[in-house]
Structure 1
Amino acid sequence: MTVRAVEVIAEAEVIAYHSARHGRSIARSIAARHIRADHIEEALVYPVTTETTDHPGGYRGALDEFYAVAAARLAAHLDAGRTVAVLAEGDPLFYGSYMHMHKRLADRYPTEVIPGVTSVSAAAARLGTPLAEGEEVLTILPGTLPEEELTARLASTDAAVVMKLGRTFPRVRRAMESSGRLAEARYVERATMAGERTGRLADTDPESVPYFSVAVLPSRIGAPAGPDHTATAADADAGSGSDTGTGTGTGEVVVVGTGPAGPLWLTPETRGALASAEDLVGYTTYLERVPVRPGQRRHGSDNKVESERAEFALELARRGRRVAVVSGGDPGVFAMATAVLEAAAQEAYREVPVRVLPGVTAANAAAAKAGAPLGHDYAALSLSDRLKPWEVIAERLHAAAAADLVLALYNPGSRSRTWQVGKARELLLEHRAPDTPVVLARDVGGPEESVRIVRLADLDPSAVDMRTILLVGSSQTRVVRRGDGQEVVWTPRRYPET
């Protein structure tokens, strides 16, 4: 308890606290030594806790009615001129029952809220480990969330505390395991109180878990390796002075996509993989989208050395490092997943675990910005003839255009490839009307984002560079100018009968 909390209790005439029907109150037990015989006590006894109710409004209706009655009881004391101290374990406005009194009374009576030590802070103190450090993100979650939501949030954050365990514990444990965080997870029960218990979450008996317990994923920075800890980049740094030194755990390669432009486009699974990696390998431009983390090694390279980059990542993993290969967009669409899997097929790397995590690809990002041009069948082609001859590209353009497919054209042009867009336009005009809509999307999600819709006949090759993707409509694709002046393009899902 804070000094101010003790002072307020001493000054109050009425002491109020919530309790279950058994009459015991954790808040009162914490403050018991400061409660005098002349204090008027108001026990606010919940009509229900976790059991069912026959209240016509159900569980929520029963509690709403209880809070209204409880607030009226306190208001009667306040109207009589008495000072009321409402006891709340932890912090009054952090997942606490007091907030329901506050909403009903604070606008009518002078109110002072005394902050308290939350179970989050108490749990970290009892574990003796930093909760969050540096640029790490701490996420606080109620265990009552759906399991899939818990899994996604646990995978994407650095550190976390899950409240309200009890009967939710099996769900929380499964979410920890599904997110790959179970080995890090700690369990704290009744922190700083009688009956306190701490330990590994994985070793905790679900039948023994009370409501007043929390699951903790502490800071990853500098966490020691061992049976009770997962390995970190800091451990690897301590154990090796070279970039290809032996890691501290089971190595693996995870190929991740950053989407078109970084953090807003990352999936929770990808965020988690980037956070837990010891080494990041990738094209320097893509690595710059990933936040710098203490102890994590970054290996940037040029965008024309995909095979070398893939083998380097696999070699790191073979030596025990956890490696994330960073790709733009979706790693499986004209990106790094193919290079990594091709290299991993070599005998030297066949035992190295490799995972590919999906990302938002440029075609989907551009389509969403323009409307829904990919609403029907479409084909994705790369116009780059660096890895395949132009004759193959031309043949595929003819076939896809003749099939009346919408086209997503990746890698349309660069400083060294300037004629391909013009040639592609000529080929497409053999099958498409001159007014076929074309979406030119450049730097989608980035600071220089530009999305325009032009006629196929008016497509200017000089307006296209390597940061641009082209979406060429089919015969059914439509463009409409909406009331705000914005043009949107979509391809109907129904196709006319022939």
Structure 2
Amino acid sequence: MSTGTLYGVGLGPGDPELVTVKAARLIGAAGVIAYHSARHGRSIARGVAAPYLSGTAIEEPLVYPLTVETTDHPGGYAGAIADFYADAAARLAVHLDAGRDVVLLCEGDPLFYGSYLHMHKRLADRYRTEVVPGVTSLSAAAAVTGRPLVEGEEILTVLPGTLPAEVLTERLAGAGPAAVLKLGRTFEKVRKALTDAGRLDEAIYVERATWPTGRVAALSEVDPDSVPYFSLALLPSSAGPVRQPESPAPSGTGEVVVVGLGPGGRGWLTPEAQEAIAGADDLVGYQPYLDRVPPNPRQRRHPSDNRVEAERAAHALALAAAGARVAVVSSGDPGVFAMASAVFEAAAEPRFGAIPVRVVPGVSAAQAVAARVGAPLGHDFCTVSLSDRLKPWEVIAERLSAAAAADFVIAIYNPASRSRRHQLVAAKELLLAHRSPDTPVVLGRDVGGAAESVTVLPLGSLDPSTVDMRCLLIVGSSRTRVVERADGSRSVFTPRHYPAS
């Protein structure tokens, strides 16, 4: 059997309409589509190619084991990445050996700082290869700034921002057009090199050229904390005026998207949630939740206190009515004791009846705590909030007793606060009326955050004084089990089978 062909397909700088006709044809006909992605699972390359995917191809995501963080790999960062590329090449070789063509997607141009290069070097000597060029980030940057890269006999210098500072300064000191790629974490070093070279005033900052969320600005005015990897510094030809786009005005077709951030860090954020946040003009939310979203100078932020859900929802809808794309951010899942209900309640008012509202789900706190110990939510379960701010304690007690009597696993939200201590004491007594003191309880605090801790203990040993608003409790059913593992850890699970009555 003859082997397949490896196609390195350039997708251009980000706008799907800048994908070439040939690239679109190959993507649509591919038997195997491969693409790189970060550990969160979102692939920029796949996102650009999405309009051209057939839906029937085998997909091979090549997930980087790390980006810039440290590793315990014996070879360090370089060793870990080398092993990853070797493994990725081996995975693609299996398809090629089986006679399947492989289309490897690559942002920009495959042979211009492209991720495809690493597979090409490992596979091109054994298999047929074909490279489909794409529009480079440099061409896109020139287009969105309205400035030529070079003209006449000018020489263009292209530098990666990862070079040592002194090398950057030396290369930038000469006159002539230049571009520095791969900014992100290198931005401050690059800005200093431009300053030392006496060229900072010439430099134009271009972020995500041709993307809807793209940005062009004088580099000297850019906040270093807002700079992503997909950005560059451009020192164009001296011909022509600099065209700086104004901040986009509201489009007149506003919407509200209620976005779940998950319970902790960026790793809990879904690709859909990332895209919703990136596409927003305005961000609305409780201050600590907004603080979890990296600042973007293009966006307006509207923080508020935790006890003004109705006002926050109405504010978001009013912004959307004026034409803004609004993201209301919420911890965990927005539909679980969070902002989605408040937004839809406000949207039911006639004045907001025409505003589109949608929800982007997130990982809930109950899911996160459960996952840390195993599968305590493996059978029927319910969730109950102990907060009596919006419902009377009598209702909470009645529901808690009914759930305990019905032998549900119970996830308890908002168990206690500084001013609300008696509810958990009373809840424990209600639970013990129906559950054994040996019933497993999972106590998760700040799961996904820097102060995360997870404890498994018997219900009878639960000390309410150790619980606060950062905690979530999962109280097991009569079937929930705790298993000691060989490594000394403990797993908690609720079997899916249940004895017949």
Task: Please say whether Structure 1 and Structure 2 have the same fold, judged by a TM-score greater than 0.5.
Answer: yes
> Cα distance, 1:119 vs. partner?
4.5
Change beyond 3 A, Cα 1:133–1:386: farther
Q: How does 1:11-50 map to 2 (within 5 A)?
A: none
- Which residue of structure 2 lines up, in the alignment, with residue 485 of structure 1? 488
> Cα distance, 1:122 vs. partner?
5.3
- Which residue of structure 1 lines up, in the alignment, with residue 10 of structure 2? none
Q: Distance in 2 between matches of 1:62 and 1:265?
A: 37
Change beyond 3 A, Cα 1:184–1:483: closer
SS at match of 1:493: coil
> Cα distance, 1:287 vs. partner?
0.3
- Which residue of structure 2 lines up, in the alignment, with residue 473 of structure 1? 476
Change beyond 3 A, Cα 1:298–1:233: farther
Among 392, 404, 414, which residue is 1:401 paired with?
A: 404
Instruction: Give the AA of the match of 2:140.
Output: A
> Cα distance, 1:95 vs. partner?
2.6
Root-mean-square deviation over aligned CA pairs: 3.5
Q: Distance in 2 between matches of 1:321 and 1:261?
A: 27
Change beyond 3 A, Cα 1:405–1:126: same
Determine if contact 1:234/1:296 at 8 Å carries over to the other structure. no
- Report whether the alignment pairs 1:315 with 2:318: yes
Q: How does 1:366-385 map to 2 (within 5 A)?
A: 366-385=369-388
> Cα distance, 1:91 vs. partner?
4.1
- Which residue of structure 1 lines up, in the alignment, with residue 247 of structure 2? 234
Change beyond 3 A, Cα 1:92–1:432: closer
- Report whether the alignment pairs 1:121 with 2:137: yes
Residues paired across the two proteins, number: 318
Q: Distance in 2 between matches of 1:336 and 1:250?
A: 22
Q: Distance in 1 between matches of 2:498 and 2:324?
A: 51
> Cα distance, 1:61 vs. partner?
3.2
Instruction: Give the AA of the match of 2:314.
Output: E
Q: How does 1:60-79 map to 2 (within 5 A)?
A: 60-61=96-97
Q: TM-score, normalised by structure 2?
A: 0.58
> Cα distance, 1:234 vs. partner?
2.2
Q: Distance in 2 between matches of 1:407 and 1:89?
A: 52
- Report whether the alignment pairs 1:450 with 2:453: yes
> Cα distance, 1:402 vs. partner?
0.7
Q: Distance in 2 between matches of 1:320 and 1:288?
A: 25
Change beyond 3 A, Cα 1:479–1:314: same
Q: Can you list the C-alpha shifts for 1:44-77, whole angstroms capped at 9, x where unaligned?
A: xxxxxx899xxxx99823989xxxxxxxxxxxxx
Q: Can you list the C-alpha shifts for 1:148-204, whole angstroms capped at 9, x where unaligned?
A: xxxxxxxxxx9499xxxxxxxxxxxxxxxxxxx8x789xxxxxxxxxxxxxxxxxxx
SS at match of 2:416: coil
> Cα distance, 1:94 vs. partner?
4.9
Q: Distance in 2 between matches of 1:266 and 1:375?
A: 23
Q: Distance in 2 between matches of 1:59 and 1:385?
A: 58
Determine if contact 1:384/1:412 at 8 Å carries over to the other structure. yes
Instruction: Give the AA of the match of 1:99.
Output: K
Q: Distance in 1 between matches of 2:114 and 2:269?
A: 32
Change beyond 3 A, Cα 1:233–1:371: farther
Change beyond 3 A, Cα 1:126–1:476: same
Determine if contact 2:285/2:312 at 8 Å carries over to the other structure. yes
Q: TM-score, normalised by structure 1?
A: 0.58
- Which residue of structure 2 lines up, in the alignment, with residue 90 of structure 1? 111
Instruction: Give the AA of the match of 1:234.
Output: S
> Cα distance, 1:379 vs. partner?
0.6
Determine if contact 2:262/2:269 at 8 Å carries over to the other structure. yes
> Cα distance, 1:434 vs. partner?
0.6
- Report whether the alignment pairs 1:301 with 2:337: no
Among 115, 121, 139, which residue is 1:99 paired with?
A: 121
Q: Distance in 1 between matches of 2:377 and 2:418?
A: 28
SS at match of 2:402: helix
Q: Distance in 2 between matches of 1:345 and 1:219?
A: 41
> Cα distance, 1:264 vs. partner?
1.0
Determine if contact 2:441/2:457 at 8 Å carries over to the other structure. yes
> Cα distance, 1:120 vs. partner?
2.6
Which structure has more relative contact order (CA 8 Å, sep 6+)? It is 2
Instruction: Give the AA of the match of 1:336.
Output: M
Determine if contact 1:90/1:118 at 8 Å carries over to the other structure. no
- Which residue of structure 2 lines up, in the alignment, with residue 226 of structure 1? none
Determine if contact 2:263/2:448 at 8 Å carries over to the other structure. yes
- Report whether the alignment pairs 1:253 with 2:275: no
Among 258, 263, 267, which residue is 2:266 paired with?
A: 263
User: What percent identity do the matched residue pairs reach?
Assistant: 56
Q: Can you list the C-alpha shifts for 1:334-369, whole angstroms capped at 9, x where unaligned?
A: 000000000000011011111111111100000000
Q: Can you list the C-alpha shifts for 1:28-47, whole angstroms capped at 9, x where unaligned?
A: xxxxxxxxxxxxxxxxxxxx
> Cα distance, 1:484 vs. partner?
1.1
Structure 2 alignment gaps of length 5 or more: 6-28, 32-92, 101-108, 127-132, 147-178, 187-206, 215-229, 233-244
Instruction: Give the AA of the match of 2:266.
Output: P
